[in-house]
Structure 1
């Protein structure tokens, strides 16, 4: 069966043996399923109504159209790595751009400051270190709200500084109609004891990743690159303001 308009596979499009396994684990039969919008996973994300009156939320995915998705789902069940281990291979955007990649269309300020940005990014792993369990992918479209709870998935969970989630979330909040990141961060309790240089380094790594990712071909998820570009623009603007206001 074809995917629903937002890219999700409907519950009844899941292979029969997977549906049977889910019902076996839940101990009840599914009588209704509602696909949940948001996010970029191309598989199933559905609220299930069971014949015993209970409800459940299920996600599933196969290797098509994005072969990385099943691994992300499985990652929610293993021990959390550090942020450096989780994102070390990805948070190298400025360094990769400065190593000879095509810079056509790159923001002029970023192009002029590419060497400085790469140097800031280079320190992000040490700057992000900490014992806090971070979600690392909080976005308005990646949450389910109930009357009394917030439900999230955890495929990118990692150990990081207490302010890591706030830094990585605020550009997304801004692109989705929220306030500018700088004021929100400065007023938040977790930022009270944050080291300014460490925050700038992590923000540089995030912006470099998003800016570079937004310039690349889509990986089988058609809306992802535009979303990354918008977040990259917001993160870069915040980073530029921090760098220009620093002594």
Structure 2
């Protein structure tokens, strides 16, 4: 349901790829390619690079000499240590997901101390259209309910789940350069910094829970097949409330020029959830995205910065809509990045 409020702007597609930061199968060190082939017990005959996503390194659909297919991703951890950490974390998370969870099955991993690779079953699917189409959105929202039910309680694992990638208003407040950039991007958001800091003070209680959440549930991490909704890329999973992934996903809905609030109001995962608790998550999501975008230096990926900025401001517009005519919630009612 597109909103009639002109301040939402024209719906725009979400950026989906990093440009030149991906590497090809042919440029892999031979030892790494051989390691992946060893996991698959077959020779790769075709490798098609996938441009979707925002991580450095390899992301490729493979076909073997016997006709089998797989998806592989790999990264040089010396050149991209953060991505290497994400890959190693995803090995642990993906390997521990219950069999019924709609995620690609991890076939194996390779780690020689420098290069890390993961190999998954190939999913013959496509990303949801952006801007969101209502039929696809409703299908994904139903799948988020099933996802939360299948991951409550969170599967046990040897290592503790990391803290969520939420919150960042305090980092912005303490970083003059980033704060100046925020003021350039959205003066209104900078003016409302104190209100967001007040919400962020309640982040620990708003993120408490026993559900394994994906932690990065945006359209570029969702594949639609003929009969399934499959969620990919799990390095940022954390244990929290059942509704956390839903709130994150609805932020991307706002970016499409669609009011997320009617969908939130009737979604079963938000039944009985305190309004303030949702406000804290929306604000914290925007805070993480905007702090990351505003702190990025000249070596950062500009597509990633634009994606984070767009999603962050969209979440703030949603927060504003939630409070229009209803009065302020905890810490006041930030009006958003209009």
TM-score (norm 2): 0.65
Deviations 1:149-192, CA, capped at 9 Å, x for gaps: 425121111111111001112222433x3622222222222111
TM-score (norm 1): 0.86
Residue 251 of structure 2 contacts residue 260 of structure 2 at CA under 8 Å; is this kept in 1?
yes
> Relative contact order: is structure 1 or structure 2 higher (C-alpha 8 Å, sep ≥ 6)?
2
Residue 43 of structure 2 contacts residue 65 of structure 2 at CA under 8 Å; is this kept in 1?
yes
Partner of 2:248: 168
Deviations 1:130-152, CA, capped at 9 Å, x for gaps: 11111111222223343344251
Residue 81 of structure 1 contacts residue 159 of structure 1 at CA under 8 Å; is this kept in 2?
no
Partner of 1:154: 234
1:126 aligns with 2:205: yes
1:38-117 pair list within 5 angstroms: 38-63=52-77, 65-78=79-92, 79=157, 81-82=160-161, 85-87=162-164, 91-99=166-174, 101=176, 102-103=179-180, 104-105=183-184, 107-117=186-196
Residue 41 of structure 1 contacts residue 69 of structure 1 at CA under 8 Å; is this kept in 2?
yes
Change (3 A) 1:92 1:158: closer
Deviations 1:182-232, CA, capped at 9 Å, x for gaps: 222222221112221111111111111112222222554341111100011
Mark the runs of 5 or more structure 1 residues left unpaired by the alignment: none
1:8 aligns with 2:22: yes
SS at match of 1:76: helix
Q: 1:100 deviation in Å? A: 5.8
Moved over 6 A (4+): none
Q: How many residues align?
A: 239
Distance in structure 1 (CA, Å) of the matches to 2:79 and 2:311: 24
Change (3 A) 1:133 1:205: same
Q: Which sits farther off after the overlay, 7-16 or 235-244?
A: 235-244
